[in-house]
Copies of this chain bind each other. A is one copy, B any other.
Amino acid sequence: MSEDISSVGIVGGGQLARMLALAGYPLGLRCVVLDPASDACAGQVAPQVHGEYDDLEALDELARRSDVVTFDFENVPAAALAHLADEVPVHPCPAALACAQDRLAEKTLFNQLGIGTAPYATVDSREQLGAAVATIGLPAVLKTRRLGYDGKGQQVLRSAADLDTAWDALGGVPLILEGFVDFTRELSILAVRSLSGEEAFYPLTENRHADGILRLSRAPCADAALQAAAQDCARAVVERLDYVGVLAIEFFDCGGRLIANEMAPRVHNSGHWTIEGARTSQFENHLRAICGLPLGSTAALGPVAMLNFIGRLPPREAFLAHPDVHWHDYGKVPRHGRKVGHATLCADSPAALDALLATLAPQVPADAG
């Protein structure tokens, strides 16, 4: 059956769709993206259907041109995906997306599966916010249950005086209050599960964020015990959701104990190092999974790091002057807060990677602002 799949539709035409499309060509898969933007960066490398995500005609055209459909961002309208799913297989399935779209559903699932989370409470009124803070304590983070990403839709509460400010900023939509977690570092795992149920897991990645946006990822970064613990969590989630494709779970590492923060039902920024740093990239494995092909090896090829470029690119030559560095320009116009590219740094030893990072990380420009 998988031999018949030759066209993959992608809802969303950003850099994740772009890297999926580039990974598809060698596999004999042609991607077509749906995006309203006239300059969607995936549209530079693959055919694009121009239309809003709730435009039924555009959705129908995408379905008509696709043997299977996936998405490159988790805020796809549920109705759009349901419409598509009536016409063509959609992976990951709409139910998995729905869970990942709602921080409450996500945390509830984690807890049902025995996966630790920060303490949390739903907040639908100013009164509930006060009650939740009384239970969970401060500091804490008030978040929208839906549509948050890259730190958007979040307010940190440090004292009682912050409650009104936070409520004024976010109130009116379903919210969740999450207790602070005392962690030593942030980790993420990428799981991939195919149509046939085959599963594979990439090595744990250590991530550093600033202003809510990922800046640096590094892999492999954990011992066998932590890796096994993360894989157990990811396996439980993908099996419960009958998940097909790549799924990312972000954890806090609390001195060797993993606390799940959130999950992303798609290829993930913290997995970009897999393009050069793993035997098979997350993009190739996502496509293999949703097309029912066997999965490729997820083994890391050595120590590797990724530096994200936010707002604008650094000078290309300064990075490529290091022969073990690879460049990824997403073809986007520079803009504040926008992910415009990344570099992958490979090395033969962790110490060599440290040295390369010490040289190059300071050359990543501050956001264009």
Question: Is the pair B280, A296 in contact by a Cβ cutoff of 8 Å?
Answer: no
10 smallest CB-CB distances across A and B, nearest first, come from: A28-B329, A297-B323, A294-B320, A26-B328, A294-B321, A297-B324, A293-B320, A296-B323, A25-B45, A27-B327
Q: Mark A302-340, 1 if CB is under 8 A from B, else 0.
A: 000000000001011100111111111101000000000
Question: Is the pair A315, B26 in contact by a Cβ cutoff of 8 Å?
Answer: no
A2 interfacial by beta-carbon distance below 8 Å: yes
Minimum C-beta distance from A274 to chain B (A): 12
Q: Knowing A3-B315, A45-B45 are in contact, say whether A26-B295 is a contact too (CB < 8 A).
A: no
Minimum C-beta distance from A203 to chain B (A): 15
A111 interfacial by beta-carbon distance below 8 Å: no
A279 interfacial by beta-carbon distance below 8 Å: yes
A85 interfacial by beta-carbon distance below 8 Å: no
Question: Is the pair A320, B296 in contact by a Cβ cutoff of 8 Å?
Answer: yes
So how many copies of this chain end up in the complex?
2
A159 interfacial by beta-carbon distance below 8 Å: no
A30 interfacial by beta-carbon distance below 8 Å: yes
Q: Mark A174-216, 1 if CB is under 8 A from B, else 0.
A: 0000000000000000000000000010000000000000000
Question: Is the pair B288, A323 in contact by a Cβ cutoff of 8 Å?
Answer: no
Contact among B28, B288, B325 for A331, CB-based, below 8 A: B28
Contact among B3, B30, B316 for A317, CB-based, below 8 A: B3
Question: Is the pair B27, A329 in contact by a Cβ cutoff of 8 Å?
Answer: yes
Question: Is the pair A317, B2 in contact by a Cβ cutoff of 8 Å?
Answer: yes
Chain B residues within an 8 Å CB radius of A280? 323, 326
What is the CA–CA distance of A284 and B327 in the complex, to the nearest angstrom? 10
- Total contacting residues, chain A, CB less than 8 A: 40
Question: Is the pair B293, A28 in contact by a Cβ cutoff of 8 Å?
Answer: no
What is the CA–CA distance of A293 and B320 in the complex, to the nearest angstrom? 7
Question: Is the pair A331, B3 in contact by a Cβ cutoff of 8 Å?
Answer: no
Question: Is the pair B3, A279 in contact by a Cβ cutoff of 8 Å?
Answer: no
Binding site for B on A (CB under 8 A): 2-3, 18, 22, 25-28, 30, 44-45, 200, 276, 279-280, 284, 288, 293-297, 301, 313, 315-317, 320-329, 331, 341, 346
Chain B residues within an 8 Å CB radius of A30? 44, 331
Question: Is the pair B316, A293 in contact by a Cβ cutoff of 8 Å?
Answer: yes
Report the nearest B residue to A321, measured CB to CB: B294
What is the CA–CA distance of A317 and B22 in the complex, to the nearest angstrom? 20
Contact among B296, B301, B325 for A301, CB-based, below 8 A: B301
Contact among B2, B22, B294 for A25, CB-based, below 8 A: B22
Minimum C-beta distance from A185 to chain B (A): 28
What is the CA–CA distance of A326 and B288 in the complex, to the nearest angstrom? 11
What is the CA–CA distance of A323 and B320 in the complex, to the nearest angstrom? 30
Q: Knowing A301-B301, A316-B3 are in contact, say whether A28-B296 is a contact too (CB < 8 A).
A: no
Chain B residues within an 8 Å CB radius of A313? 28
What is the CA–CA distance of A44 and B44 in the complex, to the nearest angstrom? 12
Question: Is the pair A279, B346 in contact by a Cβ cutoff of 8 Å?
Answer: yes
Chain B residues within an 8 Å CB radius of A28? 313, 316, 327, 329, 331, 341
Chain B residues within an 8 Å CB radius of A25? 18, 22, 44-45, 329, 331
Minimum C-beta distance from A242 to chain B (A): 22
Q: Knowing A25-B45, A26-B329 are in contact, say whether A320-B279 is a contact too (CB < 8 A).
A: no
- From A18, A294, A315, name the one whose CB has the most chain B CB atoms within 10 angstroms: A294
What is the CA–CA distance of A357 and B321 in the complex, to the nearest angstrom? 36
Q: 15 A-B Cβ contacts within 8 A? A: A2-B316, A3-B317, A22-B22, A25-B44, A25-B329, A26-B329, A28-B316, A28-B327, A28-B331, A30-B44, A200-B323, A276-B279, A294-B320, A294-B322, A301-B301
